[in-house]
Amino acid sequence: MPGRRDTLWGTRFGFYLAAVGSALGLGNLWRFPFVTVENGGGAFVLLYVGFVLIVGLPILIGELMLGKIARRGSVAAFRRLENDDEIGESEPGTFGAGGFAALSCLLVLAYYAVVSGWVLHFLMQFAFGGILSSGENIDSSMRVLKDSGLLQLALASVHILISLVIVVKGVQEGIEKWVGNIMPVFVVLLGILVVKSLATGQATEALRFQFYPDFTKLNWHSPLHALGHAFFSLSVGMGTMIAFGSYLKPEAHIPSAGFRVATLDTVISLFAGLLIFPTIIGMSLGSSGPEMLFRALPRLLQGIESGWFFGVAFFVCLYLGALGASIGLLEALVANVTEALKVSREKAAWVVGTATVVCAVIPALSSSVLDDVTVNGRSLFLFWDSVVVNGLLPLGVLAFCLALSKKLKAAPAIHEFVNDDSLVTQTLYSHWRFAIRFLIPSIIVMCVMTSLLASFAEVIFLGR
Ligand code: PFF
């Protein structure tokens, strides 16, 4: 939208609300618990938190910074980095970071929309379907979804349509802030539910499962899974945070902003674990994969007074979280298509919307019509999830690191770090630069290689 960056966030708080509104979402509440169970609990959580701090945070800072310096969204910001010698070195090569980010956005949005559709379904089940009346009702609510790919596709399309209307009307900044405003309510609600969940008698086991690091429970894919989830949860690797940085006021201190967003996001994920794990352990639900949240939460709410009310409130908040994240993804895509095809925002939005629904067909049908199609024993939905989160996002971050370390001039970057004369802000820049140039690329390469080698070994020795 031309001239968008003329409207910078009025208050510092406004920025946090919007950035947190985009980071908080299904990644925290839906994905974190089941990925943690699949990777054995505490040791995985430790890896995840470690990666958030040493890998995710510097990248989040980098994306916000590039947006703030270039005052553009992802693709245009990369172009400015390449062509404007005020901020970028004129070395040849584009690294394709912008285009790659756009592809990742599309693929994330397609399957994110399917899960957002599940949230809508459960919201309706709580509001009108009497889901809590029996355990059988909870199971059948999930079964209806699983058996009907068309229902999943229809709900995903409704979600994309809602997000599209918001983006086309150009009110996403307003909505993002509004969604952000709801987030404190969500945090309080989560807090209450966590206390109630821990009171069900499984507190010790749940805390032990989430926080005691038993490294024997990890597998060779776990480091990559923890890394990918850290990127997914912080919304980095796809350029969406670049857009948020572009709205920041000149005096905003990016490292502190990034730190606060990352901390809040991680704390919410840990809350989500404590919300779900007591029920999983108490009812021996085991690893139910992507269905975990939708199986465990209604069972927890069944045993709670006013569970119906909490259920509706929870799924409304979760849906708004999913909407905030989807708007960020869609906005990045629409801006890129507008530029690339030189069409109006409205046309671009329809192109993107149609492409997303077409892509969503595969994850939406994976548990019904495409049930028989598996890759490495995994459903097409889980395969899609893994390709995006454990493949495209780490590669996107790698391209971003390369682009920043080769192109970004030191002066504007240093300016973003130093906001006083203290030694801390003076040395922060050199640590950040080291992380972007060497540490993060090495960690990504190591995690990817370990996982790839493990996959080869599984194929050769175990015939999987
Ligand atoms: N961070 C969001 C979540 O945790 O649900 C997901 C997401 C949003 C990923 C936006 C990527 C993105 F660009």
Residues in the chain: 464
Query: With pLDDT > 70 as the criterion, what percentage of the chain qualifies?
Result: 88
Q: What is the pLDDT of residues 447-463, one digit of tens each?
A: 999 999 999 898 888 77
Query: With pLDDT > 90 as the criterion, what percentage of the chain qualifies?
Result: 54
Domains and CATH numbers, the chain: 5-462 (1.20.1740.10)
Beta bridge partners of 69: none
Determine which residue's CA is closest to atom 8 belonging to ligand 1.
325
Residue 253 CB: number of other CB atoms within 10 A?
16
If pLDDT is split at 50, 70 and 90, which confidence band does 93 have? very low
How many angstroms is it from 335 CA to the middle of ligand 1?
A: 18
Mean pLDDT for the stretch of residues 101-108? 89
Give the rounded distance of the alpha carbon of 299 from its chain centre. 26
Per-residue pLDDT, 92: 45
3-state SS assignment for residue 201: coil
Per-residue pLDDT, 229: 98
Give the rounded distance of the alpha carbon of 383 from its chain centre. 17
Q: What is the pLDDT of residues 35-79, one digit of tens each?
A: 999 999 999 999 999 999 999 999 999 999 988 888 776 777 777
Of the candidate ranges 44-48, 81-85, 94-98, 110-114, the one whose mean pLDDT is the lowest: 94-98
Per-residue pLDDT, 172: 59
Helix (H) or strand (E) holding 375: strand 374-375
Pairwise pLDDT comparison (139 vs 118), residue with the higher score: 118
The token pair at 43 is 């040791």
List residues near ligand 1 (CB under 6 A): 22-23, 25-28, 108, 232-233, 235, 238, 240, 325, 328-329
- pLDDT, averaged across the chain: 87
Residue 371 scores a pLDDT above 80: yes
Per-residue pLDDT, 433: 92
Among 392, 446, 382, 380, which Cα is nearest to 222's? 446
How many angstroms is it from 199 CA to the middle of ligand 1?
A: 31
Q: Which of 112, 331, 336 to mutate to test the pocket of ligand 1 (most atoms within 8 A of CB)?
A: 112
Q: In angstroms, what is the C-alpha Rg of the chain? A: 21
Q: SS3 sequence, 378-417?
A: EEHHHHHHHHHHHHHHHHHHHHHHHHHHHHECHHHHHHHH
Residue 327 identity: I
Of the candidate ranges 16-30, 54-68, 250-264, 346-360, the one whose mean pLDDT is the lowest: 16-30
Among 435, 393, 449, which Cα is nearest to 54's? 435
Residue 172 identity: Q
If pLDDT is split at 50, 70 and 90, which confidence band does 3 have? very low
Pairwise pLDDT comparison (6 vs 67), residue with the higher score: 67
Q: What is the pLDDT of residues 125-143, one digit of tens each?
A: 999 878 887 777 888 888 9
Residue 4 scores a pLDDT above 50: no
Q: What is the pLDDT of residues 262-293, one digit of tens each?
A: 999 999 999 999 999 999 998 877 778 899 99
